[in-house]
A and B are shown apart, each in its own frame.
Chain A
Amino acid sequence: MKELFPAKQVMGFVFSLILTAIALLVYFLDLSFTAGLTILVVTAFVQALLQLVVFMHAGETKDKWAIYGNVYFMILIAMITIFGTLFLFVWDM
């Protein structure tokens, strides 16, 4: 029976609920803007990766290099855009 029970998915589901609850805390607790946003950004990215790996089955097929390659590429582009924008409008304005 053990191999039929989707332990990974159930654990993933619980973990994603926990992440959602942590994110929701930002609304109820009286945090500073920076602290709140940090929690939101971190939980959002972990949540996205969790969904990708556990529920969208990235890494379970032979073309996993393509899927992870795309993810790394996407992160790289996002980083370029974000840090470029910060460079322009915050650090050098």
Chain B
Amino acid sequence: MEFFERFAIPHPSPAIYASMVVIALTVIAIIAGLTYFKKWGYLWREWLTTVDHKRLGLMYIISAILMLFRGGVDAIMMRAQLATPDSKLLDAQHYNEIFTTHGVVMIMFMAMPFIFGFMNYIVPLQIGARDVAFPRLNAISFWLFFMGAMLFNISFVIGGSPDAGWTSYFPLAGTEFSESVGTNYYMIALQISGLGSLMTGINMITTILKMRAPGMTLMKMPMFTWSTLVANLIIVTVFPVLTVALAMGTMDRLFATNFFTSSNGGMDMLWANLFWVWGHPEVYILILPAFGLYSEIISTFSSKNLYGYTSMVASMVIISVLSCLVWAHHFFTMGQGAASNSFFSITTMAIAVPTGVKIFNWLFTMWKGKIRFTVPMLYSIGFIPLFTIGGVTGVMLAMSAADYQYHNTMFLVAHFHNTIIPGVVFAMLAGLTYYWPKMFGFMLNERIGKWTFWALSIGFVLAFFPMYITGLDGQARRMYTYSESTGFGPLNMLSFIGAGIMAIGFVLIVYNIYYSIRYAPRNIGSDPWDARTLEWATHTPVPEYNFAITPAVNSVEPFWDAKKKKHVLFPEPLKKIHMPNNSGMPFILSAIFFVWGFSFVFAIWPLVIIATLGIFACLASRSFENDHGRYISLEEVEETEEKLGGAKK
């Protein structure tokens, strides 16, 4: 029994026992359901082994939505705990665990896969390619992310959740102060999913640089593709730093090295330093693709081309460079001198300039446009003022002298939620609504969608704006309770109400999906929004080869030109099509990675060695495999095109 004691939860509560039961029942229900409906074969053939960028994209998005709800429950629990002074709803330890998992889940396992989902689904369609450059690597990326996310999520029922904050600062995250395996989960799960992110970065850069349709020069790429390229360049630049930092942190925790200890020559501040060398560019990895989505949506629903294309591209490139030069603004108060603080202050404030350029470009795109107030457009219009407030408070935080007042207060919490929710979450929901008809062949209900938008916007303002005030009044971040005499009570209650309204908004999204599956009309064609770029030029549902004929590109908006200016999009005849084969290896490899990670977390070394050998066996088997893909015959292409309503002209 001694062996199994390590898997026990150090701080159990009825809620955790209840979730154990729920998780067990869900797993049993899924297995029973798959067996009863005889879907195991279907699941394996069509999804687990797929290398199709569209299916991988969908799986990313579905995982992201599930994680959104997981992180959302953490958020509601936090707001409920803080709603009243001296609340006894959660104890300090549980509060520590939920704010840690809320942060990690929302950034790493919600926002990242959401943008990866859109990149996967949209980019090959936007550049007229048949798949990404390395389809099987793409599958490995997804499954590594998925296994990392699952490993992180089982922490709260096996062994205990991490509790040192999503930034996991040492020495708090060291073994001296975080004895449970929780922080091991953090280190290993992020390591595994981070490997996946790095591979996606390489894959997307290669895809965009090498596989664009003929005629599409770099400066004729759609804005979302540009934002993807820049974001993935940042990924390749900074994820290695996270990899190294996590490896050093893991060694500190498991092998008693002294990288981040406060004795024996270690330097705990180095963790914060390395974490933010990755961490600050990371927020631009999230926001740039969101900007790309907004650009597509605002241009489509203003019925105009995007204003200031060149300056949009230039500002993204400048943001990507500056994003790597600002990391110290996360720890202005750590004790370095005025010279370095001033340097990082100035670089941080400089980022507001290219971002401002983008804001004005969106406004000018709408200027004198024929605006259609659809749900994606509502999110985009709501984003502009809300995000600008987040940006302005960001410049306030960037002033290092003033930051001594704001540092580690709820003001900061309000600021980054104010950029991430209208910036990233709204963009993801706008993108989901916008691309939903391309993905599933029907539209989401507009009326419910508008209700959702208003619930989320009003809920957001109520939930986060009070934090600016309590933060300036001195309410510290991550404090699990406060006394009544502080006077934080009423505003925190308002925050809780706002969070509740946001929760209603997220439930409405689920209801909208259910409602639209049942009632939405299916005969909407392949271009329901009257859009402008290539992804709308192919059939809905998208055939596995995307485009039967490689499109010819003449401008930034080839599809619009084909509709309005008689541009011939598909000049060539049909040919047989070369496609990659499915493979079970990515799933198997990642499953072994899961076992590897799990045994690493609990330091079960024999299993670690076996799993490591398994990983190398998978890599070696790839070297001996001879897989040249397959051809879809001309007859089959013709048949598919006929069924989907004739080859596109």
Contacts and interface: CB of A to CB of B under 8 A. Distances in A.
A60 interface: no
A73 B335 CA distance: 31
B164 interface: no
Chain A residues touching B, range:
10 to 19
Contacts of A89: 267, 269-270, 273, 336
A88 B277 contact: no
A92 to B, nearest CB: 4
Most buried by A among B267, B277, B325: B277
A43 B372 CA distance: 63
B324 A80 contact: yes
Contacts of A80: 324-325
B340 A87 contact: yes
B616 to A, nearest CB: 21
A20 interface: no
Interface string A65-88: 000000001000100110011011
A92 B328 CA distance: 12
A77 B267 contact: no
Contacts of B328: 84, 88
Contacts of B327: 84
Contact of A88 (B237, B324, B336): B336
A88 B340 contact: yes
| Chain A, interface SS category | helix
B337 interface: yes
Contacts of A81: 241, 277
B237 A77 contact: yes
A93 interface: yes
Interface residues of B, number: 18
A84 B328 CA distance: 9
Contacts of A91: 340
A85 B325 contact: no
Nearest to A93: B336
Nearest to A81: B277
A34 to B, nearest CB: 15
A63 B237 CA distance: 20
B339 interface: yes
Nearest to B273: A85
A93 B331 CA distance: 13
B343 interface: yes
Contacts of B340: 87-88, 91-92
Contacts of B337: 92-93
Contacts of A85: 270, 273, 277
Contacts of A88: 273, 328, 336, 340
B199 to A, nearest CB: 16
Contacts of B269: 89
Interface string B314-357: 00000000001101100000011101100100000000000000
A85 B343 CA distance: 13
Contacts of B335: 93
A47 to B, nearest CB: 19
A1 B336 CA distance: 63
Interface string B605-628: 000000000000000000000000
Interface string A31-54: 000000000000000000000000
Contacts of A93: 335-337
Nearest to B326: A84
Nearest to A80: B324
A92 B336 contact: yes
A84 B336 contact: no
A81 B328 CA distance: 11
Interface in B278-334: 324-325, 327-328
Nearest to A90: B336
Contacts of B324: 77, 80
Contacts of B270: 85, 89
10 contacts: A80-B324, A80-B325, A84-B328, A85-B273, A85-B277, A88-B273, A89-B267, A89-B269, A92-B340, A93-B335
**Across the A-B interface, the 6 shortest Cβ-Cβ residue pairs:** A92-B337, A92-B340, A88-B336, A92-B339, A88-B340, A92-B336
Given A85-B277, A93-B336, 12 more contacts: A73-B237, A84-B325, A84-B328, A85-B270, A85-B273, A88-B273, A88-B336, A88-B340, A89-B267, A89-B273, A92-B340, A93-B337
